[in-house]
Amino acid sequence: MDIPLVIVCVDCGGRAHLLTHLDDEVPPQSGDVLAYRCEDCLDRWDLVFEDDDSDEPDGSSGHGPL
């Protein structure tokens, strides 16, 4: 799965850039936290990475939203 380097800031609609260093040889695992910082309002967003592949038959992660 490709991790977006830039996301839309929920607070101001600006561009939030990935702060977390990604290693090409060790991809993020489900449950890892990815940090983003908005270039406009400077808010930080910590997002929990959830892999699309799951052990659950319905594709869910087995737990509720975070």
* One pLDDT digit (tens) per residue for the chain, 66 residues: 689 999 999 999 999 999 999 888 988 889 999 999 999 999 999 999 988 765 555 555 455 544
Q: What is the pLDDT of residue 13?
A: 96
Q: What is the spatial distance between Cα 16 and Cα 13, in angstroms, rounded to a whole number?
A: 9
Sign of the torsion formed by the C-alpha atoms of 56, 60, 65 and 66 = positive
Sign of the torsion formed by the C-alpha atoms of 24, 25, 29 and 34 = negative
Domain boundaries, the chain: 6-48
